[in-house]
Structure 1
Amino acid sequence: MKRIGILGGTFDPPHIGHLIIAQEVLDSLQLEEVWFIPTYEPPHKHEARLQVKNRIEMLQLALAGNGLFQLNTIEVKRAGKSYTYDTMITLKEQYPDSDFYFIIGADMVEYLPKWYKIDELINLVSFVGVKRTGYTLETMYPITEVNIPLVDISSTLIRKRLRENKSIQYLVPDSVHTYIKEHGFYVQK
């Protein structure tokens, strides 16, 4: 069985925290790949700031240097709100010889009881929890904890820094930084 990590999110924008998490889980669990799955519209958040086309382009730039990281647009193609359960049903049908490891931050671990069809979902995928400042990894659901270097970066922080005209250098890959500057994204107009 092929061992594949899944890292979902809005990636608005993608940042080094996403890449560090993916690499640490890949190494710790000896995965063969990590698939980054951007949402079209996340079920638990307000809509993304940027159009999906721009978020995909930034994600492609961020992943370009690592052949073990892949972009998968299954949720974008579905459009509308995406539920992990529906995504995993489709992936299990398309890749029956793969085991999937769904990577979530501690903020999402606490939210698991509210996930759509969580009791069915835990039979489709192994959850992997990583720490986030201010959250615990305590849950009644089975998760594998992977220790990662705690880098307290979020897309929200990056957008805030850009609105305040502060640098985001080293918080995002250089290619993503250039893309954001070239398009003037996230700054107040």
Structure 2
Amino acid sequence: MPELHALFGGTFDPVHYGHLRPVEALAQLVGLKKVTLLPNNVPPHRPQPEASPAQRVAMLQCAIAGRPLFDIDQRELARTTPSWTVTTLESLRAERGPRQPLGFIIGQDSLLSLAKWHRWQDLLSLCHLLVCKRPGYATRMETPEMQRWLEQHLAQQVQDLQQKPAGYIWLADTPLYNISATEIRQRRHQGLPCDDLLPPSVIDYIDRTGLYRN
């Protein structure tokens, strides 16, 4: 089997340590060599980003410079329709072929609300779900049916993720970072520092471009 390749979608408005550090920890736990960042264009479940697509890509490029684990895929930015995860995974699966193990990284909050996602039942036919902890969220699904679904698909060991192209859920014991892009934008609007929340290169870009100012 080819090596497991992981994908991580988000608005990244802006990208911050709460995105990067749990994924870096996950890569160590699972043995990932590559994580592809997928910036959303039209996020289905949240307001439109404050930064433009080009600005968000530029911030990602700043953030991953010197971090060879990461690369960027801009296919969702080329769409004018909502960035449905299942549609993106279908296009990636068509490109990578049926044998490539693919993992899609989500937070614990996304796992708990997965039943609200577009065609969520199809996700595990296309990828594994790699779940990072999030502070303050429940550890059980909302309904007994969803809890049974989760338990039926849990991977028992990391090697399971390499031995099938899709179909497992891995609950990763990653560090918790209580950081949100909303908080960062609010702090920037108020003229407050964010030095410990996102990489210096991203702060420098925000300063130079005047992003997130009133």
Same fold (TM over 0.5): yes
Residues 59-109 of structure 1, C-alpha deviations (whole Å, 9 max, x = no match): 011011111211111211223311010000000011114211111111111
Shift of 1:48: 0.8
Residue 179 of structure 1 aligns with which residue?
205
Shift of 1:8: 0.4
Question: Using a 3 Å threshold, how does the CA distance of structure 1 residues 182 and 71 change in structure 2: closer, same or farther?
Answer: same
Shift of 1:26: 1.0
Residue 60 of structure 2 aligns with which residue?
59
Q: Does 1:23 align with 2:24?
A: yes
Give the aligned CA root-mean-square deviation in angstroms. 1.3
The amino acid of 1:118's aligned partner reads W
Q: Does 1:108 align with 2:118?
A: no
Residue 161 of structure 2 aligns with which residue?
none
The CA distance in 2 between the partners of 1:5 and 1:167, in whole Å, is 32
Give the fraction of aligned pairs with identical amino acids, expressed as a percent.
34
CA contact (8 A) 1:130 1:137 kept: no
Question: Using a 3 Å threshold, how does the CA distance of structure 1 residues 129 and 136 change in structure 2: closer, same or farther?
Answer: farther
Q: Structure 1-normalised TM-score?
A: 0.94
Residue 72 of structure 1 aligns with which residue?
73
Shift of 1:32: 2.0
Task: Give the secondary structure class of the aligned counterpart of 1:43.
Answer: coil
Residue 159 of structure 1 aligns with which residue?
185
Residue 117 of structure 1 aligns with which residue?
119
Residue 98 of structure 1 aligns with which residue?
100
Task: Give the secondary structure class of the aligned counterpart of 1:98.
Answer: coil
Q: Give the 4+ runs in structure 1 shifted more than 2 A.
A: 136-143
Number of aligned residue pairs: give it: 188
Alignment of 1:131-150 (within 5 A): 131-139=133-141, 140=146, 141=150, 142=153, 143-150=169-176
Query: Larger C-alpha radius of gyration, 1 or 2?
Result: 2
The CA distance in 1 between the partners of 2:17 and 2:134, in whole Å, is 14
Question: Using a 3 Å threshold, how does the CA distance of structure 1 residues 128 and 138 change in structure 2: closer, same or farther?
Answer: farther
CA contact (8 A) 1:131 1:137 kept: no
Task: Give the secondary structure class of the aligned counterpart of 1:76.
Answer: helix
Q: Structure 2-normalised TM-score?
A: 0.84
The amino acid of 2:196's aligned partner reads Y
Structure 1: where are the runs of 5+ without partners? none
Match of 1:169 among 179, 183, 195: 195
The amino acid of 1:164's aligned partner reads Q
